[in-house]
Structures are given as C-alpha cells and as structure tokens.
Amino acid sequence: MEKKADIAVIGLAVMGQNLILNMNDHGYTVVAFNRTVSKVDDFLKNAAKGTNVIGAHSIEEMVSLLKVPRKVMLMVKAGDPVDAEIQKLLKYLSPGDCIIDGGNSHFTDTIRRTKYLEENGILYIGAGVSGGEEGARRGPSIMPGGNEKAWPLVKDIFKAISAKTPDGVPCCDWVGSDGAGHYVKMAHNAIEYGDIQVICEAYHLMKLGLGLSADQMHQIFAEWNTTELNSYLIEITRDILAYKDDDGEPLVEKILDKAGQKGTGKWFIVNSLDLGIPVTLISESVYARCLSALKEERIKASEVLKGPVTHFKGDAKGLVEDIRKALLASKIISYTQGFMCLHEAAKEYGWDLDYGNIALLWRNGCIIRSAFLDKIKNAYEKNPKLSNLLLDDYFREVIDDCQASWRKVIMTAVELGIPMPSFSSALAFFDGYRCAKLPVNLLQAMRDYFGAHTYKRIDAPADQVFHTNWTGRGGDVASGTYTV
Ligand code: NBP
C-alpha cells in the first residue's frame, strides 16, 4: 500500500514551498497541492526534486493521500482565498481532521473560521508564521492559535520545523484560543514597523545632522550590534550600509525614499484605537510611510518651505552615543505599547496569553529577533502579573540611563529640522505615562461648557457627575448620551 503522508500544504508560492522543504528535512512526508496545478509538477521537478514530497493534482487526491486525522495547511494569499479553500476542503474532510491557516490572516477572520469549522466538526488553527522565505526554509517563528484540540495533532511538526532560541527552545508554542495566534503575529509585524522606523530615524540624524558617510554608519551599527541593541534588524542595517553599487557608491543612497503600507501595521493601529491603547510609536511608523509616499508633493514643498539653517556644532561622537541610547529608549516604548495592546486584547477577546512566552516566540526565526526579547521574557518570568514593561526594574533602569540622551537627541533634531516622529512620540508617551495629572481636566471643562457632557471632581466620589452653567446662559440639563 502507498505510504500515507503526515500533512498536506496547499499553496506553492514562496512560503508554502519552503515550509514543505523544511518539513521534508525533518522527516515528515508532505503532500503538495496548488490551485494552479501545473505549479505542483514544476515544484516536484525543481525545488522538491529528490525529496519525499508527494504531489497531488486535486484536493480529493490530496486528502486521499493523508494519514487520519488529516492535517491540511493553507499557505495561500490571505482573505477570500482562505475561505475558498476551506469550502473546497469541507467536501472531503471528516470530523476530527484539522485545517491550519499559516498565512497573514486578520485575527477576526480566524475567530470566525474557528467557530464555523468547529460547528462542522473540523479543528482549526490560525498560525502566524514569521521569517519570510529564509525563515520558512530554515526555521520560522510560529504563533499558533485556534481550537486547542488541534494542537496535539501538529505540535511535533511545528516545533520541529520552527526556529530555536540560542538555548535550543522552539520558537513555537500554543498562543491561545481562536484568533490569538494571528493577533500575536499582527503585533509582531506592527512592532517590526516600529523597530524599522527608529533605525531609519537614527540613520537620518547621523546622515543629515552629523554628515556621516554610509561607511562610517556601517561601523557605528556594527558597534551597536554588540550592545543591548543586538538584533537582526541592526545587523542587516550594518550590512546594507556597507553594500556598494556597481560604481562603488553605497547602494542605499540610490534607493527611492518612498514606502507603502498595506497590512498588519494598519490593522494593529485600527485595533489599538478600538481597544483604546496608545500605540503612538507604531502609529507614527505607519504614518511615516504614508508621508514618504507623498514623494512628488515633498519635492515641491522642499523648494518653498524653509527650515532652520543651522549645523550641529557639538560633540559628534557624544551625539552618536546619545542616538544609540535614544534608539534603545524608543524601542522600549514601542514594545511597552505593543504589550499593552496584547494585555488589552487578551481581556477583550478572552485569551489567556503568556507574555513571556510570546517574547520567546519572537526570539529567533522572525524579523524582530533580538537579544532584547530575553529581557522581556525575564520581566514576565519575574512577575507574571506585570502590568506594564516600564514598571519592570530592568527597563526602568535602562530608561533612567537613556533619558538625558533621548531628550538631547530630540532637541538636536528639532533644532536642525530633522523629523524624528517615532523618537519624539515615544518620549511624549513616556512623559504622559509618568504624569499623575494630565491637562484633561481642562478638556473635560470644555466639553461640559460646549456640550453639557458633565465632569467628575477630584474632591467628590468617583460615581458622582457635575454640570456647570459656565456662562449663566445655558440650562441645567446635562447630556446623557453624547460622548466625544
Ligand atoms: P502569496 O501571498 O503570494 O499567495 C500565492 C498563493 O496563493 C498561490 O499558491 C496562489 O495560487 C494562491 N491563491 C491565490 Br493568489 N488566490 C487563491 C484562491 N482564490 N484560491 C486558492 N489559492 C489562491 O504567497 P506567499 O508569499 O507564499 O504567502 C502565503 C501566505 O503567507 C500569505 O498569507 C502571506 O501573507 C503569508 N506570509 C508571507 C510571507 C512572505 O515573506 N512572503 C511571510 C509571512 C507570511 P496560484 O498559484 O494558483 O495563483
């Protein structure tokens, strides 16, 4: 009898192909299928040649080749294609079988699909997979959530193919019910937006403010990579800055300064507003891309809108170290805000998230992998009930150490007219968060003045509301429903 396969993967684009080869390397037999069936044969003839990968030419054939309970992983474009494939699979799967969506699906779709498939007797997992092509092939970070009964079916395969921490722990563990895995992946991608933006701002200030060359900045990033900033993104920045075009000039300076944003960063900001959590640094990172996209307008504006005509006159070496510290402090704020959202999402959607473990899932295999994540893991290990990363001793002490530099860097950038939206929004958040009394008393007074929205008093019980007839002309009726 023909040997049955351990798992099927539908979707033979870059992620699907590489995950299949990774599973094959770990001794699993995989059936490969793709909507455009010719890609199955191409795959078997090329990248999968000489492996144990089996090709299927229809979903029916694919399902017939699987061990029971069947496990089918979707690596197709997120959105409608996932629903389309689920509908096709339902015709052939049996109760107890399992579908895994490894694409970048929106967590609310995963909540919906988990429930729908449970009603149909099928176990469902929405797994965030991070690390791109290289990660998929050599070991991605995997963030599975969904129907927990499905986890034992795929646990061994996923842990085997995932990246490992420096201590050998798989960067893959169960995250939580229904959409939790895809939520954590969304948070990962959003934090990646923030990490990239703060690095770009540091580069901008060193380039324009200090006039440093790409080679000089390459050296600086190489040094920074030996500090607490040690991470994949600092490492690739170091390498990018050293990379020369055919004419010997740094390639990075010839790349068009225009970026798009379409997916998970935006989703995260929209969700943070729904949850009421101020993820200001990540928001600024997404908006910085939006501003960059206005290239033609910026060129015109640069000809008429003048900024300060001044040069940095201080200690350049000292400022480089200040920038490093400002980057580290801003990064701490970004992760703090990201984890604040995770806390609130757990409450809102009923997930039991293990925050230290989430940091560990990102420790390797994914784009935001860094030594820094160990500190987050340690903080939650020390205190699983930690409400905010800034309140952990380690992070508080690092911020104390970096704070003067952080302020100096932002003041310098403001004086020079160099935009640093993420650095400065991070500092504004920090100053707001540590402020026991914000000027919102005035805001509440204004709302009561123009809309009779009422206010509470610091010298009255918390459940008591007041309305003042501020002008003597208004009535005494307070607004009960209108809120802004
Ligand atoms: P793509 O996101 O480019 O999707 C291509 C695959 O989707 C092909 O197999 C294609 O089949 C299939 N597909 C499409 Br398009 N429409 C379909 C439909 N209506 N029904 C069935 N199949 C359909 O592939 P990818 O870049 O490998 O990414 C796969 C998933 O992983 C995505 O959700 C992506 O967001 C996520 N992801 C990607 C990366 C990355 O670095 N690329 C990283 C992490 C996560 P066809 O061949 O017949 O057109």
pLDDT digits (tens, 9 = 90+) for 69-124: 999 999 999 999 999 999 999 999 999 999 999 999 999 999 999 999 999 999 99
Exposure string of 337-354, with b = 16+ CB inside 10 Å and e = fewer, is: bbbbbbbbbbeebebebb
With cut-offs at 50, 70 and 90, classify the pLDDT of residue 475: confident
Is 185 part of the annotated catalytic residue set?
yes
Which is catalytic among the residues 192, 325, 375, 377?
192
**What value does the mean pLDDT take over residues 126-136?**
94
With cut-offs at 50, 70 and 90, classify the pLDDT of residue 310: confident
Return the structure tokens found at 169.
């722990």
| pLDDT at residue 2, rounded to an integer | 66
Residue 82 CB burial class (10 angstroms; 0-12, 13-18, ≥19)? buried
**Mean pLDDT estimate for the chain:** 96
Return the structure tokens found at 336.
């703090």
Q: Are 110 and 101 in contact (CB under 8 A)?
A: yes
Cα(54)–Cα(61) distance, rounded to whole angstroms?
11
Q: pTM (2 decimals)?
A: 0.95
Which atom of ligand 1 sits closest to the CA of residue 35?
A: 48
Which atom of ligand 1 sits closest to the CA of residue 76?
A: 7
Position with higher pLDDT, 336 vs 478: 336
Alpha carbon of 87 to ligand 1 centroid (Å): 17
pLDDT above 70: percentage of residues in the chain = 99
3-class DSSP state of 68: coil
The two beta strands, 54-55 and 71-74, are unpaired
Cα(142)–Cα(454) distance, rounded to whole angstroms?
48
| pLDDT at residue 161, rounded to an integer | 98
Alpha carbon of 384 to ligand 1 centroid (Å): 37
Cα(49)–Cα(480) distance, rounded to whole angstroms?
70
pLDDT digits (tens, 9 = 90+) for 321-335: 999 999 999 999 999
**What value does the mean pLDDT take over residues 116-135?**
96
| pLDDT at residue 85, rounded to an integer | 98
CB count in 10 Å sphere of residue 3 = 9
Ligand 1 pocket test, pick from 9, 12, 14, 15 with the greatest ligand atom count within 8 Å of Cβ, gives 15
| pLDDT at residue 4, rounded to an integer | 93
Ligand 1 pocket at CB < 6 A:
11-16, 34-36, 39, 75-78, 81, 84-85, 103-104, 129-130, 132-133
pLDDT digits (tens, 9 = 90+) for 352-397: 999 999 999 999 999 999 989 999 999 999 999 999 999 999 999 9
Q: Which amino acid is at 11?
A: G
Alpha carbon of 479 to ligand 1 centroid (Å): 51
| pLDDT at residue 238, rounded to an integer | 98
Which atom of ligand 1 sits closest to the CA of residue 39?
A: 47
> Which residues are bridge partners to 31 per DSSP?
8, 54
Among protein residues, the one with the nearest Cα to ligand 1's atom 6 is 76
pLDDT digits (tens, 9 = 90+) for 201-258: 999 999 999 999 999 999 999 999 999 999 999 999 999 999 999 999 999 999 999 9
Return the structure tokens found at 95.
């109760």
**What value does the mean pLDDT take over residues 441-466?**
97
| pLDDT at residue 480, rounded to an integer | 65
Among protein residues, the one with the nearest Cα to ligand 1's atom 19 is 81
Alpha carbon of 75 to ligand 1 centroid (Å): 6
Which is catalytic among the residues 39, 71, 85, 185?
185
Alpha carbon of 11 to ligand 1 centroid (Å): 6
With cut-offs at 50, 70 and 90, classify the pLDDT of residue 479: confident
Cα(123)–Cα(142) distance, rounded to whole angstroms?
18
| pLDDT at residue 440, rounded to an integer | 98
| pLDDT at residue 304, rounded to an integer | 98
pLDDT above 90: percentage of residues in the chain = 94
Among candidates 132, 94, 127, 130, which has minimal Cα distance to 113?
A: 127
Element (H, E) at 266: helix 264-275
| pLDDT at residue 103, rounded to an integer | 97
| pLDDT at residue 483, rounded to an integer | 53
Cβ contacts of 274 within 8 Å, gap of 6 or more: none
